[in-house]
Amino acid sequence: MTGKIHHLNCGTLNPFSSRFLFPANGFKDTRFLVNHCLLIETGKGLVLVDSGLGRQDIERTDITLGKVRPAVIQPALLKIECAINQVERLGYNRDDVRHIVLTHMDFLQTGGLSDFPNATIHVMRREFEAANAPQTLLERWRYVQAHWQHSAKWKLHSCVGGLWKGLEFSPVFPDTDDILLISLPGHTRGHCGVAIKKPTGWLLHCGDATLNINHIKQPQNYSVNGFVSASLECCRADRLHSLQRLATLAEALSNNKESQASDPERIDFACSLDPDNFYQLRFNPSSDVPEADQSQLSFPLQAAPQDEVTA
């Protein structure tokens, strides 16, 4: 079981499409997107789910992101939003972050990797291979290999037949099922979700399997969300299949709504860009874990593992 989960916005975005993805008071109003990352307190140290945009993206934007990517996504590029800055404001230091778990390796998820040079990075093997040998124009655009050119330590995962709620998974740590990589390909070749076991139920970060968490409930809705998702997909059949599996899971939970509040297997859903979902989880969380002093871990830090291999 994990300790406290911190919801971090590691890169506010304002692309033109945001006003159509999340309209408020008409399409003329600007809606900022978030870059939803998680910081999890565990007995193995802090675990970061996705790393957002990092310090080098802000200090050397032209070198890491180039000119086209910022023009498309319109990032705020605020240092205070970098994961490392938020970790330090919580009273920790960079070495307390022992593990980084990636839903995928788009530049929005990998920008902060070099800010935690001693962390072990967990990712699906197919995603690692795609990011380091991009085959299409879209893959060459989405992956920024400069983000992991710091002698990063990698732990590559593959699903080997086990199922979590009907979905293939790989445990992040071999000795516990508290954090799982859930196979959700389609947005990228090795895209996955991350399931975190809480004292009551689970939190499932779906990454970019959906851009709007409400889209899980209507996967066949041909909206702007669907159009934008399609424009960013690696494989349409895989993306729609992953979305349908999430919809089936959400429907099963909805059918059990009466007991969901006390159900130890209930699931809260999160995704990378949805601002409404982010603010709901950050400012109106379920009271599973009592509030603790922010400078203390819920579990004591253990010695860093000695058997990691540098890729």
User: Number of structural domains, the chain?
Assistant: 1
In a domain, 117, yes or no: yes
In a domain, 171, yes or no: yes
Range of the domain at 75: 5-282
- Give me the residues of the chain with pLDDT under 70, please: 1, 23-30, 219-223, 256-263, 285-311
In a domain, 68, yes or no: yes
In a domain, 293, yes or no: no
In a domain, 296, yes or no: no
In a domain, 88, yes or no: yes
Residues 6+ apart with CB under 8 A from 290: none
What's the gap between Cα 150 and its chain centre? 21
Q: What is the pLDDT of residue 38?
A: 98
Q: What is the pLDDT of residue 290?
A: 40
Residue 16 CB-density burial (10 A; 0-12 exposed, 13-18 middle, 19+ buried): exposed
Q: What angle do CA 193, 125, 115 make, to 5 degrees?
A: 75
Q: What is the pLDDT of residue 244?
A: 92
In a domain, 50, yes or no: yes
Helix extents (H) in 154-297: 224-231, 236-255, 257-260, 275-283
Q: What is the pLDDT of residues 18-53, one digit of tens each?
A: 777 776 654 444 578 999 999 999 999 999 999 999
Residue 160: phi, psi to the nearest 5? -120, 25
Q: Strand 120-124 vs strand 97-101: parallel, antiparallel, or unpaired?
A: parallel
Q: What angle do CA 241, 182, 245 make, to 5 degrees?
A: 25
Q: What is the pLDDT of residue 173?
A: 96
Q: What is the pLDDT of residue 241?
A: 93
User: Burial letters for 280-303: b for 16+ Cβ neighbours within 10 Å, e otherwise?
Assistant: ebbeebeeebeeeeeeebbeebee
Q: What is the pLDDT of residue 299?
A: 37
In a domain, 225, yes or no: yes
Q: What is the pLDDT of residue 283?
A: 87
CA-to-CA separations, 118 to 31, 94, 310, in angstroms, rounded: 36, 8, 10
Q: What is the pLDDT of residue 219?
A: 61
Q: What is the pLDDT of residues 168-204, one digit of tens each?
A: 999 999 999 999 999 999 999 999 999 999 988 999 9
Q: For the domain that residue 269 is a member of, what is the CATH number?
A: 3.60.15.10
